[in-house]
Structure 1
Amino acid sequence: MPHIYLVPIALLLFASPFASSQGASHQAMLASVYSDEREIQEYWVSEKLDGVRGHWDGKALWSRGGHRISTPEWFTEGWPNTAMDGELWIARGRFDAVSGIARSTRADDKEWQRVKFMVFDMPGHGGVFSQRVEVMEEIDDYGIPWLQPVPQFRVADAAELEARLEALAAAGSEGLMLHHQDALYRSGRSQDLLKYKMHDDAEARVVGYTEGKGKYAGLVGALVVEREDGRRFRLGSGLSDNDRASPPPIGSWVTYHYNGHTSTGLPRFARFVRIRNDMQETSHDSSD
Structure 2
Amino acid sequence: MPEQLKSEPLEPAQRLPGIQLAGSLEADRPISEYLVSEKFDGVRGRWTGERMLTRSGQVIRLPAWFTKGFPTEPLDGELWIARQQFEAISALVRDKDADPERWRAVQFMVFDYPTIDSPFAERYALAVKRYANLSPFLQIIPQWRIQDSQALNAALDEWVAQGAEGLMLHHQAAHYHAGRNGDLVKLKRYQDAEAKVIAYFEGKGKYRGMMGALEVETNEGIRFKLGTGFSDEQRRHPPAIGSTVTYKYYGLTHNGVPRFASFMRVREPL
Q: Could you tell me which residue of structure 2 aligns to residue 117 of structure 1?
A: 108
C-alpha displacement of 1:211: 2.7
Alignment correspondent of 1:101 = 92
Q: Which residue of 2 aligns with 1:60?
A: 51
In the alignment, is residue 185 of structure 1 matched against residue 176 of structure 2?
yes
List gaps (5 residues or longer) in structure 2: 1-13
Deviation string 1:233-264 (CA, Å, 9 cap, x unpaired) is 22111111111111122333221111111121
Equivalent residues of 1:53, 1:88 under 8 A apart: yes
Q: 1:87 to 1:95 in 2, by over 3 A?
A: same
Give the match's secondary structure for 2:153: helix
Letter in 2 for 1:42: E
How far off is 1:129 after superposition? Answer: 0.7
Equivalent of residue 158 in structure 2, options 158, 161, 167 = 167
Structure 1 residue 36 displacement after superposition: 5.5
State the partner residue of 2:31: 40
Deviation at 1:127, TM superposition (A): 1.4
Larger RCO, structure (CA 8 Å, separation 6 or more): 1
Match of 1:140 among 108, 132, 135: 132
Task: List per-residue Cα deviations over 1:60-90 (Å, max 9, x = no partner).
Answer: 1111122211111111122111111111111
- The reply on whether 1:260 has 2:251 as its aligned counterpart is yes
1:224 aligned counterpart, secondary structure? strand
2:3 is aligned to none
Superposed CA deviations along residues 186-242 of structure 1, whole A, max 9, x for unmatched, are 111121100111111112222332233333233222222222222222211111111
In structure 2, the partner of 1:51 is 42
For 1:107 and 1:76, the matched residues in 2 are separated by 16
Q: TM-score, normalised by structure 1?
A: 0.83
Q: What is the distance in 2 between the residues matched to 1:27 and 1:227? A: 24
The aligned counterpart of 1:153 is: 144
Q: Where does the alignment leave 5 or more consecutive residues of structure 1 unmatched?
A: 1-23, 280-288
- CA RMSD between the two structures: 1.9
CA gap of 1:26–1:242, structure 2 versus 1, over 3 A, is farther
Between stretches 128-137 and 205-214, larger displacement belongs to 205-214
How many corresponding residue pairs?
A: 255
Give the drift of 1:166: 0.7
- Please state how far the C-alpha of 1:107 moved relative to its aligned partner: 3.9
Give the aligned partner of residue 207 of structure 1. Answer: 198
Q: Aligned partners of 1:230 and 1:250: how far apart in 2? A: 16
> Shift of residue 132 of structure 1?
1.0
SS where residue 59 of structure 2 aligns? coil
Question: Percentage identity across aligned positions?
Answer: 49
Q: Give the match's secondary structure for 1:167.
A: helix
Which aligned pairs between 1:4-15 and structure 2 lie closer than 5 A? none
Match runs of 1:262-281 below 5 Å: 262-277=253-268, 279=270
